[in-house]
Amino acid sequence: MTAMRKLFIWIFILFSGSVTAQVRKLTLEEVVQQSKDQSIASKQAVTQKKTNYWQYRSFMADYKPQLSLLGTVPGFTRSYIQVVQPDGTVSFQQVSNNNSTLNLSLSQSIAMTGGTVYVQQQMQRFDDFQRDVTRYNGIPFEIGIKQPLFQYNPLKWDRKISPLKYQEGNQQYIQSLEQVALDATGFYFDLLVSQVNLQIAEKNRSNNDTLFKIAQHKLELGKISQNDLLQLQMGLLTAQKDLASAQQSAAVASLKLKMYMGSRDERELELAIPAEAAEFAIDTQLALDEAFANRSASVAFRRRLLEAERDVQQARKNNGLNATLNATFGLSNQGNLPRDVYVSPQDREFVELQLTLPILTWGRNKARTEVARAAQEFAQQSVEQDKLTFEQEIFTQVTLLQMLQKQVKLTKVTDGIAADRYQIAKERFILSDLSVTDLGIATQEKDIARRDYILALRDYWQAYYSLRLLTLYDFEQNRKISY
């Protein structure tokens, strides 16, 4: 029975080991790419890009001919209406009729003037059910124009600003994906630091357990004091506590990374420690030029200035003389049948000029203009300040990345030295050639050096992706970033 129990325990351990062995190994490049492909943030960026595209398509459609059919079918009425008699009295008469209209119109906006030209055809049918009479009235052909005079022209300004908005949106899409890469890098190193802390904690617990057992044997031989043994026991308990905390932190960081990546894989993640990229030189002037050429903020600078200028123009135009010219020329006719409308139609002309001239506004119009001018001046100042901040960010990021390239190499060397020193200290302690205090110092230095190296890598890669985000330029490949 005991042998069978041992066999079952062995099978259970073997099976459990096979389950826990299911891990998914990932590199930083794989995490970044999967985040760009599957994360909610990347999908939102794609959706925003589609929205930007269709908004631009809608803007372009406004400048193309528009064909529309307008109608009232049917237009039935049955009621009593007031009819004034020749002697001035009022009589209420019953009416029962249908007045239907169809209008086919082709219009074209004129961006330079803000007007609209159109051609149209119209047919009207009137049915008097009381008298059993049907009549037709129509416009076989008509051409017209509606032209604002001395007014603000929104079509002209939209033609200047909307292409900038479209370009800004396209660049924002690239920035969004680079932001995904930067965020994914942050989550990657959060988990990597937790996993390294977990490895350190597991190693320290194992080492402290081994050293504590060795110390117990030494105490029996009289080679160490009871105080040294208690110190090692405290170290073992601390290592066990640190291990439990590291396991919890690693589990939380793993969940956050999976959620950001959009991954439903239940396997445990095992992250590789990324090496620093091949050292490359960064020309600060090139970084500035590429940033101003590629970033959406650079396009936004021009858009904001144009919008401020537009608002001033709108305030000035709306405060003065406003007029609208409406003119049409065509043919019209009526008859008992639809075809009668097209037989010998008569001329149809219409000209109208509408005027609006503010005379007494108590300074309201001037105030509106001055507010718009002040807003324009503020926009110019804001853009100048944002440009300076923009340049400072680029300069700072270039300097930081160049510094971190060197720092990573130094911390890597320090990590190797600290690991070797700890190994030597451990061997000397076993041989009773080193105190417990010195061994603890060597352990702390090893742990600190390892963490410093991982943290230096994190700072380096975040600075690397931050520079890509700020410039939308790949300095390794010497090309603009595009998707």
For tokens 């794609």, name the residue. Answer: 46
Is the confidence at residue 33, as pLDDT, over 90?
A: yes
What CA–CA distance (Å, rounded) separates 309 from 379? 10
pLDDT the model gives residue 165: 95
> Which tens digits make up the pLDDT trace of 35-85?
999 999 999 999 999 999 999 999 999 999 999 999 998 889 999 889 888
Is the confidence at residue 12, as pLDDT, over 60?
A: no
pLDDT the model gives residue 325: 94
Give the residue with greater pLDDT, 28 vs 226. 28
Cα 119 vs. chain centroid, distance in angstroms? Answer: 43
Is the confidence at residue 155, as pLDDT, over 70?
A: yes
DSSP-assigned states of every residue in 81-109:
EEEE-TTS-EEEEEEEEEEEEEEEEEEEE
Give the residue with greater pLDDT, 83 vs 173. 173
pLDDT the model gives residue 247: 86
What CA–CA distance (Å, rounded) separates 356 from 358? 7
First to last CA, the chain: 66
Is the confidence at residue 7, as pLDDT, over 50?
A: no
What would the 3-class secondary structure string for 448-480 be?
HHHHHHHHHHHHHHHHHHHHHHHHCEECCCCEE
> Which tens digits make up the pLDDT trace of 420-443?
887 888 788 777 666 666 777 787
User: Average pLDDT of 15-35?
Assistant: 74
* 111 sits in which H/E element: none
User: Average pLDDT of 139-154?
Assistant: 93
* 353 sits in which H/E element: strand 346-356
pLDDT the model gives residue 46: 95
> Which tens digits make up the pLDDT trace of 186-245?
999 999 988 888 887 787 777 667 766 766 766 666 666 677 667 767 777 877 787 888
pLDDT the model gives residue 11: 34
Mean pLDDT of the chain: 86
> Which tens digits make up the pLDDT trace of 117-131?
999 999 999 999 988
Percentage of residues in the chain with pLDDT exceeding 70?
90
Confidence of residue 13 (pLDDT cuts 50, 70, 90): very low
Give the residue with greater pLDDT, 224 vs 268. 268
pLDDT the model gives residue 220: 65
Encoded tokens for 164: 């900038």
Is the confidence at residue 8, as pLDDT, over 50?
A: no
pLDDT the model gives residue 52: 95
Q: Which range among 306-310, 425-429, 451-455 shows the weakest confidence by mean pLDDT? A: 425-429
